[in-house]
């Protein structure tokens, strides 16, 4: 369906509006006749987004523009003032207003997520529900090219694979669109100033308390100063190049898939991987494709997970398996490399073997529900507050000199004993679970970090007294289980 003819002469559009219009059309972000939800926080980017979409609605053929606002309840009265501001924006423009809220702090604690990740998960859940209630409306968000540069650099630091370096997509399969992705923050501020549009300032964005803020406030300015101005544009250009490469690979894998896939069902994918595997670059792509086709997403899957499957293949030992985020199990079987997803209603015990991960050294290791991160540090690198006030039950500090490598991550078994922190003697895990009132149906979900001699930590519950830190501790082992942000 073609776009409607322009209702205004081209010269009547502000250059910023024209740029966004061209980008929307080139990426086919909006189909004439469909409704659009604009996610508005009240900040400069989202205010500019709303104003541009409102002005371009007749040209784009948007049937109904609705304002969405999510109250994170993290900034006290400031959060309520943000909501009131966005509501007034919608009212002045005669647009429908839909708001949502959630206990982000509780989500953070329950799922072992950072506040940033928990806020994103709650916000996107609200977006999905609002879109579903409207019959599948697209949701426009205000990410700019500067956000894209930050995202690419952040993914690089976290160890993403090539696909992740293309950054955020202008349009996702979930119905998220990013009309401002080819603009800069400077463009946005100039547009707001030109049209005398007010916006809210979130002062927490100016505090280096999370990785993204540190990149924005410290790392990127340092790169600009040290190397050259325009580093953000360089990262954006790199993202476009990677996107072109990914397009080629996706088409190639699609054409190759019938020859390499032996079996594919909603809960099982089997790849023909023999004694002579394909080139490592192709092998990684096939692994990613198998997981994505099985689970419908690669959310929570990082380069470390792909490499763990590569190592599994290189071992060449039938029967060996490992677990990936999203309840996916990868195994070497006689028929090939098998990826299996737990079927609804199946016993989770089948997906938690007695010994499912060997930890040879500090680093990142994939688990069923996320990543296990182990870091060795000298005692002088930590202060008392960091040691004794861990932020999550999924985080612990151990005396590294009292740990015997290699370590093993496994589920508990009948007869397991440990020495609970603060107790002089040992205790059966079954008795500990009873005393701690851990429901029986949840006990198989509990995983243990063990060394060659003992249980070191019941992850999420209690340390063994033999690995506690004390006045004589010189070296620390910091262990953190980072849960899959999808909440799976």
Question: Any idea which residue has 């002579």 for tokens?
Answer: 276
For the segment 314-341, the average pLDDT, to the nearest whole number, is 84
Weakest mean pLDDT among 172-181, 354-363, 367-376: 354-363
Res 377: pLDDT = 83
Q: What is the CATH number of the domain that holds 316?
A: 3.30.465
Q: Is residue 242 part of a domain?
A: no
The β-bridge partners of 140 are 38, 177
Q: What is the CATH number of the domain that holds 23?
A: 3.40.50.620
Q: Is residue 315 part of a domain?
A: yes
Res 391: pLDDT = 58
Which domain, by its residues, includes 289? 266-351
What tens digit of pLDDT does each residue of 54-96 get?
999 999 999 999 999 999 888 889 899 999 999 999 999 999 9
For the segment 118-130, the average pLDDT, to the nearest whole number, is 87
What predicted TM-score, i.e. pTM, was given to this entire model? 0.65
Q: Is residue 132 part of a domain?
A: yes
DSSP three-state, residue 208: coil
| Share of residues in the chain with pLDDT > 70 (%) | 90
Of 303, 325, 351, the position where a domain reaches its end is 351
Q: Is residue 254 part of a domain?
A: no
> What is the band of 369 on the pLDDT scale with cuts at 50, 70, 90?
low
The domain total for the chain is: 3
Of 351, 377, 406, the position where a domain reaches its end is 351
How far is 185 from 227, CA to CA, in rounded Å? 20
pLDDT above 90 (res 328)? no
Of 222, 237, 252, the position where a domain reaches its end is 237
H-state helical runs in 261-322: 280-295, 303-315
Res 277: pLDDT = 84
Q: Is residue 304 part of a domain?
A: yes
Mean pLDDT for the chain overall? 84
How far is 335 from 240, CA to CA, in rounded Å? 39
- Tell whether 96 and 222 lie within a shared domain: yes
For the segment 264-292, the average pLDDT, to the nearest whole number, is 90
Token pair of 151 as six digits: 């995202």
Higher pLDDT, 282 or 346: 282
Q: Is residue 426 part of a domain?
A: yes
Res 354: pLDDT = 39
Res 295: pLDDT = 83
How far is 250 from 285, CA to CA, in rounded Å? 9
- Tell whether 327 and 429 lie within a shared domain: no
- Tell whether 163 and 229 lie within a shared domain: yes
> What is the band of 348 on the pLDDT scale with cuts at 50, 70, 90?
very low
What lies within 8 Å, CB to CB, of 194 at 6+ separation is 14
- Tell whether 169 and 288 lie within a shared domain: no
Res 10: pLDDT = 47
- Tell whether 135 and 207 lie within a shared domain: yes
- Tell whether 177 and 50 lie within a shared domain: yes
What tens digit of pLDDT does each residue of 223-235 get?
888 887 788 888 8
For the segment 48-53, the average pLDDT, to the nearest whole number, is 97
Contact 49, 142 (CB under 8 A): yes
User: Other C-beta atoms within 10 Å of 337: how many?
Assistant: 24
- Tell whether 232 and 320 lie within a shared domain: no
Q: Is residue 253 part of a domain?
A: no
For the segment 97-121, the average pLDDT, to the nearest whole number, is 81
pLDDT above 70 (res 11)? no
> What is the band of 473 on the pLDDT scale with cuts at 50, 70, 90?
confident
- Tell whether 280 and 333 lie within a shared domain: yes
The continuous run of DSSP H or E covering 177 comes out as: strand 176-177
């Amino acid at each position: 369906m073609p776009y409607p003819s322009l209702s205004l002469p081209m010269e009547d559009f502000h250059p910023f509006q024209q740029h966004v219009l061209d980008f929307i059309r080139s990426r086919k972000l909006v189909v004439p006749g469909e409704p659009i939800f604009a996610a508005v926080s009240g900040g400069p980017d989202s205010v500019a987004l709303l104003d541009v979409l409102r002005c371009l609605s007749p040209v784009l053929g948007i049937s109904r523009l609705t304002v969405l606002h999510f109250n994170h309840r993290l900034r006290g009265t400031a959060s309520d003032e943000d909501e009131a501001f966005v509501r007034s924006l919608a009212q002045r423009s005669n647009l429908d207003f839909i708001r949502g809220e959630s206990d982000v702090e509780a989500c953070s604690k329950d799922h072992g997520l950072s506040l940033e990740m928990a806020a994103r998960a709650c916000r996107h859940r609200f977006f999905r529900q609002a879109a579903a209630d409207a019959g599948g409306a697209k949701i426009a968000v205000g990410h700019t090219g500067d956000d894209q540069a930050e995202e690419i650099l952040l993914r690089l630091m976290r160890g993403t694979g090539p696909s992740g370096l293309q950054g955020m997509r202008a349009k996702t399969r979930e119905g998220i669109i990013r009309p401002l992705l080819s603009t800069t923050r400077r463009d946005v501020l100039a547009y707001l100033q030109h049209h005398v549009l007010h916006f809210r300032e979130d002062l927490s964005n100016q505090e280096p308390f999370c990785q993204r803020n540190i990149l924005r406030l410290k790392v990127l300015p340092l790169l600009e100063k040290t190397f050259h101005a325009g580093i953000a544009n360089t990262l954006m250009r790199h993202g476009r190049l990677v996107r072109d490469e990914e397009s080629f690979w996706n088409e190639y894998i699609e054409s190759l898939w019938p020859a390499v896939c032996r079996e594919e069902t909603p809960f099982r994918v089997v790849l023909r991987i023999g004694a002579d595997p394909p080139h490592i670059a192709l092998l990684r792509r096939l692994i990613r494709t198998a997981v994505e086709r099985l689970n419908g997403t690669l959310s929570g899957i990082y380069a470390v997970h792909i490499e763990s499957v590569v190592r599994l293949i290189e071992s060449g030992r039938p029967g060996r398996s490992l677990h990936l985020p999203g309840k996916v199990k990868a195994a070497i079987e006689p028929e090939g490399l098998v990826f299996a997803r737990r079927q609804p209603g199946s016993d989770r015990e089948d997906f938690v073997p007695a010994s499912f991960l060997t930890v040879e050294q500090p680093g990142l290791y994939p688990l069923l529900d996320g990543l296990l991160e182990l870091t060795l540090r000298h005692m002088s690198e930590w202060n008392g507050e960091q040691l004794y006030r861990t932020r999550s039950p999924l985080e612990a500090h151990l005396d590294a000199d009292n740990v015997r490598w290699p370590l093993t991550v496994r589920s508990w078994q009948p007869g397991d004993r440990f020495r609970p922190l603060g107790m002089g003697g040992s205790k059966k895990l079954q008795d500990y679970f009873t005393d701690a009132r851990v429901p029986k149906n949840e006990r198989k979900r509990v995983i243990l970090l063990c060394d060659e001699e003992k249980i070191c930590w019941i992850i999420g519950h209690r340390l063994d007294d033999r690995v506690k830190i004390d006045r004589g501790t010189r070296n620390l082992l910091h262990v953190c289980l980072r849960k899959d942000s999808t909440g799976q």
